[in-house]
Amino acid sequence: MTTSLCIGPRCGGQEGPREADTGRLICAGCTSRLRRDIGITPTLQRWLGHHLAPGAGAGPKVSGSRDAPVPVRIDVIDHQARIGDVLKSWVWLIAEHRGLTYPAVTTVDEVAPWLERHVDWATTRPWIDDMCAELDELRRVAHRLAPWRVHVVELDGPCPSCDLRALIRTSGETYIECDVRVGGCSALWTDDEYLAKVTSMVEVESQ
């Protein structure tokens, strides 16, 4: 039976793209990554909200009135707006294609769970690579504007997919991933998924 390769951006890292799941255009790892990138957007919004003042990172700023200057980072404000705009654009597309009613409340806290509920369907659409790329970009830019590196923990043990010791967990997120920045394969798991893989590997080695 012919298999198709995942069209998710950066799938597999240096190893190249993995096989897409049956009936989908992306693999299980890229599907999990998309869920992570959608689910983290409300946290990104709040995190950026705590980094509006200059000094929290590089970027231009603007002041308020001459009597009471209120320095604000324009780049952070712009990205907060972009997070909302990108999520709403995908909600609109999916609602239109599926004949659904567009959500009455369109805050990031409201539309992110709405999008997550439609991820499985979205993985069958030819534009899923664009959706993955845009959501990934939202997260990466937010981390660049207000770095979370001090909150990234390097985990012991090799990656179950590529055997490289490149596993990390970012504070505030519920996924373990194989970091492509150090040559990892970009695989992504929830805690339960990772535990199940490790348990299976141990059982095989003990036989």
Model pLDDT for residues 37-88, shown as the tens digit of each residue: 999 999 999 999 988 887 655 445 444 445 444 588 999 999 999 999 999 9
Note whether residue 5 is domain-resident: no
The answer to whether the pTM exceeds 0.85 is no
| The predicted structure's pLDDT at residue 61 | 47
Residue 74 lies in a domain: yes
Q: Does some domain include residue 124?
A: yes
Centre a 10 Å sphere on the Cβ of residue 38 and count the other Cβ atoms it contains. 25
In a domain, 128, yes or no: yes
Query: Within a domain: residue 81?
Result: yes
Distances (CA, A) of 86 to 41, 133, 138, 196, 206: 11, 11, 9, 34, 48
* Span 148-183, pLDDT tens digits: 655 788 888 888 888 888 898 877 777 888 888 888
* CB burial readout 96-125, b (16+ within 10 A) else e: eeeeeeebeeeebeebbebbeebbeebbee
* 48 domain residue, yes or no: yes
d(CA 135, CA 28): 16
Question: What percent of the chain clears pLDDT 90, i.e. is strictly above it?
Answer: 49
**Is 22 inside a domain boundary?**
no
Structural domain boundaries enclosing 116: 33-147
Q: How many domains does the chain divide into?
A: 1
Highest mean pLDDT among 9-18, 112-121, 168-177, 192-201: 112-121
